[in-house]
Amino acid sequence: MAPLDTDATKLGLRERKKQQTREKIARVALALFAERGYDETTLADIAEVADVSPRTIFAYYESKEDILFCDEGAVGERLMQLLEERPPGVTTIDAIREFFASTERPDEQARLRKKVARGTPALEMRMRARHSQIEPMLVRSIARDLDTGPDDIRPLLIAASMMAAFTSVQDRLFGEEPISHEQASEILDHVLEFTRAGVEALQRD
């Protein structure tokens, strides 16, 4: 019988432990942000409640803001992959619809993150700045659909319109009187179909 204590097993256990530590830090930090306020919570507070050292926190996160927005990077990378690796015949709209269809319904942790961010004007501005990084991806992808060059302003205008629509829907999804996930999905679907019709009209010109 092969020994169980292999290097691969050790590596797997070590990686799982690291992931558990990372998730625990994020969970504790979010609870403290909600309870005490983002500005009032220090990294030392988070370390104490999470039962780790401040040095351990910096092994996983660069700052409190990095902890709060810990899921944003992975979401952006997944969207970029869908847009850049889409095969011929798959449009920007097709890729975005696939992205939304595969995105999990926001859980309580996601809603709490949005609530904390919206409770601090500077954080909300940084959250929007992070989201704005998606726009250049859309511009490149739409330019590919239109088979146009960098001097064409149309992809920029289309991407800006889409981002404005997405931001408005997100504001309503996480607002004081939030709409349901189903309502948000329906609105986004209408926006995407409207945009598809516009892009197809430009392709025919």
| All domains in the chain, ordered by first residue | 7-67 (1.10.10.60), 71-204 (1.10.357.10)
- Measured CA to CA, the distance from residue 19 to residue 17 in angstroms comes to 5
Q: What is the pLDDT of residues 75-118, one digit of tens each?
A: 888 899 999 999 989 999 999 998 888 877 777 888 888 889 88
Q: How confident is the model at residue 64 (pLDDT cuts 50, 70, 90)?
A: very high
Six token digits for residue 68: 């709060």
Q: CA–CA separation, 80 vs 92, rounded Å?
A: 11
Number of helices (H) and strands (E) in the chain: give both, helices first.
11, 0
| Cα separations in angstroms, 95 against 15, 46, 81, 162 | 31, 38, 10, 14
Largest CA distance in the chain: 69
Position 29 confidence tier, pLDDT thresholds 50, 70, 90? very high
What pLDDT sits at residue 10? 63
pTM for the whole structure: 0.77
Task: Evaluate whether 21 touches 107 at the Cβ level (below 8 Å).
Answer: no
Query: Residue 174, Cα to own-chain centre: how many angstroms?
Result: 14
C-alpha angle 123-127-131 in degrees, rounded to nearest 5:
170
Closest CA to 70 of 15, 122, 16, 19: 19
**What is the reported pLDDT for 119?**
84
Return all residues near 25 (Cβ < 8 A) that are at least 6 apart: 46, 50, 52, 56, 57, 60, 61, 67
Q: Are 26 and 57 in contact (CB under 8 A)?
A: no
More confident residue, 123 or 3: 123
As a whole-number percent, the residues of the chain with pLDDT over 90 amount to: 50
